[in-house]
Each structure stands twice: as C-alpha cells, then as structure tokens.
Amino acid sequence: MSNAFEELMDFLSKGDIEEAITRARLLEKNDKSAWNKFVVYLDLRTKGKKVSISNIGPSLGILDRNNKLVALVLVISENESIDMEKIIDLVKFAKSMRMEIFMALVDKYGDITYYTLEEINLTK
C-alpha cells in the first residue's frame, strides 16, 4: 500500500484531483482506514520521516536511515472505538522489539494528534 500512497501523492502534486479521488476511493474499498492512514502518512512525510506501511493492524512504520523499523504509529479515527487489548498487545510487541509506539488520532477534519504509548507498572 505504500506504493499506492506514493502514487496518490504524485497525482495530488500534479494537480490531477480526479485521478487522486478515484485512487483514494479504491484504497478505501480495500481498507476502511486507508484515508486516515494516508493523512498520517502524508503528515509524517512532510515532517521528514521515512514511512512504510506496517502489516500490524492499522499502523504505519517509521524507518531510520538504514530502513530499519524504529517506531510504529497506530492510526485511529476519532469515531472509532478502541480495543484496549489490541493496544496493550501492540505496546508489548513494540517494547519487545525495542521500538517506540505512537498513536495518531485523526479527527473528522483530518487534524492529527500524536500520543506516545508506553507501558507503566503501578506498584503498591
């Protein structure tokens, strides 16, 4: 899907809005969270991050200069319910792989708020 996002960015940069809309609709048919993923993908790219599509749920990966995965970004819509077990599993996975994990919350206007996710242990 990463290549699909690159193609979509190319159509937008060329001003071919009709083709971009067609491609975006095709992406949405296959993945309901595709538009939110694209918005986050585009935001991270404009911030100078190297981004890839992750196979782990609705998430993106952030790569370092050597194309090593260093962080996961879980993409969530503000209207979407959150499965806490899924998030806990992702946090544990990221911790085991020594990666950072973030949540990108996308609102209905396409604005993104990023949160750092981490595990804490509360002891008595």
8-31 pLDDT per residue, tens:
888 888 888 888 888 888 888 877
In whole angstroms, give the CA distance from residue 94 to residue 9: 29
Distance of alpha carbon 61 from alpha carbon 45, whole angstroms: 12
pLDDT in tens, 48-95: 999 988 777 678 999 999 999 999 999 999 988 888 898 888 899 889
- The length of the chain in residues reads 124
Domain boundaries, the chain: 2-117
The token duo for 78 is: 């503000």
CATH number of 2-117: 3.40.1350.150
Angle at 24 between CA 18 and CA 28, to 5 degrees: 145
pLDDT given for residue 35 in this prediction: 85
